[in-house]
Copies of this chain bind each other. A is one copy, B any other.
Amino acid sequence: MIQTPYLLFLGDAPDPLAAKVAQGIKDWRPDNAVGQFRMDGCKADLGLADMTLQEAKAAGAKTLVIGVANRGGVISQAWKKVLVMALEEGFDLASGLHNLLRDEPDLVAVAEATGRNLFDVRVPAVEYPIANGKKRTGKRVLAVGTDCSVGKMYTGLCIDREMRERGMKSTFRATGQTGILITGDGVPLDAVIADFMAGSIEYLTPDNDPDHWDIIEGQGSLFHVSYSGVTMALIHGGQPDALILSHEPTRAHMRGLPEYQLPSLQQVADMALPLAQVANPDCKVVGISVNTQNMSEAEARDYLAKVEAEMGLPATDPFRFGAGKLVDALEAI
């Protein structure tokens, strides 16, 4: 588990989008974000206090999180200088970069010499078990999508925030690199060995209080032929009590698969629910999350009303209009 709070490293980000991981941490776990560290030429700004390593250390930061994409897949010497100094100052380092911290001999050597940790959240740090399918206590909800990248992580984070605001017991369970850096923990499911996928999700969502909700971050889609096996492992390893259907209505085809059309929400429900009921016979589809970022507010509200009427389920864009309807439905279980 990555030690919080963080100093967010924005490096020499060429634009704000390059720092979207740092932005996610600041948006979703502001208490984890003590400050930002920007190098000369950085074009991103989270609106946090700019801090030196020493200032951040004094403010309590434990880990320097690389919250920015690097250029050209190389950790530059300019970055290295900051990262090495951070280790020397007593920070751990955490990264979701494709090129791993552990593959950089200088960082490894300094981390060993200083007794600090390097967290590469792209690769599993745990030997996960084979799933055993045993019924666990506590409640779990999983978003299943018509496609990849339709807003399943944001849906989960919105539900988690709403539950916390209501005083409910809730934990967002990250299954992707961005989610892991936001929360400090999770399973990088796309990098897990096939036989251990479902077991990794059981490990991530253990027995809990009967009134506690695990909000499991969804991945892929049963209808996305590249990644459907990952989705399947979430459905069976997660043993969800509730499914939320996730959709982005303006997409022309499945992400990365120009020959494939998106399924309807009904098709996703008809496929996912019987599969989920193998692991949890009481599982229900309780609501719909629509990513309306490419629609005007009027279009979005019309679309949501139409979906609610067609599906007979509460539908919202939880990021735009709040997750209240979805949490109402979950609370009713």
Is A133 interfacial (CB-CB < 8 Å)?
Answer: yes
How many residues on A have C-beta within 8 angstroms of the other chain's C-beta atoms?
42
- Interface readout for A127-156 with B: 1 if CB under 8 Å, 0 if not? 000111111000000000000000000000
Residues of B within 8 A of A223 (CB): 278
Instruction: Give Cα A223 to B279, complex, Å.
Output: 9
Instruction: Give Cα A228 to B276, complex, Å.
Output: 11
Residues of B within 8 A of A233 (CB): 194, 228-229
Q: Are B190 and A192 within 8 A (Cβ)?
A: no
Q: Are B197 and A225 within 8 A (Cβ)?
A: no
Is A274 interfacial (CB-CB < 8 Å)?
Answer: yes
Min CB–CB distance A149 → chain B (angstroms): 14
Residues of B within 8 A of A235 (CB): 228
Q: Are B194 and A259 within 8 A (Cβ)?
A: no
User: Given known contacts A271-B274, A271-B275, A275-B271, is B194 in contact with A131 (CB within 8 Å)?
Assistant: no
Instruction: Give Cα A191 to B193, complex, Å.
Output: 6
Instruction: Give Cα A96 to B263, complex, Å.
Output: 41
Residues of B within 8 A of A256 (CB): 130, 132
Instruction: Give Cα A312 to B72, complex, Å.
Output: 58
Min CB–CB distance A125 → chain B (angstroms): 15
From the candidates B134, B197, B278, name the one contacting A229 in the complex (CB within 8 A).
B197
| Copies of the protein in its oligomer | 2
For A192, give the chain B residue with the smallest CB separation. B194
Is A189 interfacial (CB-CB < 8 Å)?
Answer: yes
Min CB–CB distance A222 → chain B (angstroms): 7
User: Given known contacts A133-B257, A192-B193, A195-B190, is B230 in contact with A229 (CB within 8 Å)?
Assistant: yes
Is A226 interfacial (CB-CB < 8 Å)?
Answer: yes
Which residues of chain A (256-312) have a CB below 8 Å from chain B? Answer: 256-257, 259-260, 263, 270-271, 274-275, 278-279
From the candidates B195, B222, B278, name the one contacting A225 in the complex (CB within 8 A).
B278
Q: Are B195 and A193 within 8 A (Cβ)?
A: no
Q: Are A228 and B190 within 8 A (Cβ)?
A: no
Instruction: Give Cα A130 to B257, complex, Å.
Output: 11
User: Given known contacts A259-B133, A259-B134, is B198 in contact with A228 (CB within 8 Å)?
Assistant: yes
Which residues of chain A (156-214) have a CB below 8 Å from chain B? Answer: 189-195, 197-199
Is A57 interfacial (CB-CB < 8 Å)?
Answer: no
Q: Are B225 and A237 within 8 A (Cβ)?
A: yes
Q: Are B195 and A194 within 8 A (Cβ)?
A: no
Q: Are A189 and B198 within 8 A (Cβ)?
A: no
Min CB–CB distance A237 → chain B (angstroms): 7
Is A227 interfacial (CB-CB < 8 Å)?
Answer: yes
Is A232 interfacial (CB-CB < 8 Å)?
Answer: yes
Q: Are B226 and A232 within 8 A (Cβ)?
A: no
Q: Are B131 and A226 within 8 A (Cβ)?
A: yes
Is A62 interfacial (CB-CB < 8 Å)?
Answer: no
| A191-B195, A195-B226, A228-B232 known, 9 other contacts, Cβ within 8 Å | A131-B225, A132-B256, A190-B194, A194-B233, A223-B278, A229-B230, A229-B232, A229-B233, A231-B232
Which 4 A/B pairs are nearest by Cβ-Cβ distance?
A229-B233, A225-B236, A232-B232, A229-B229
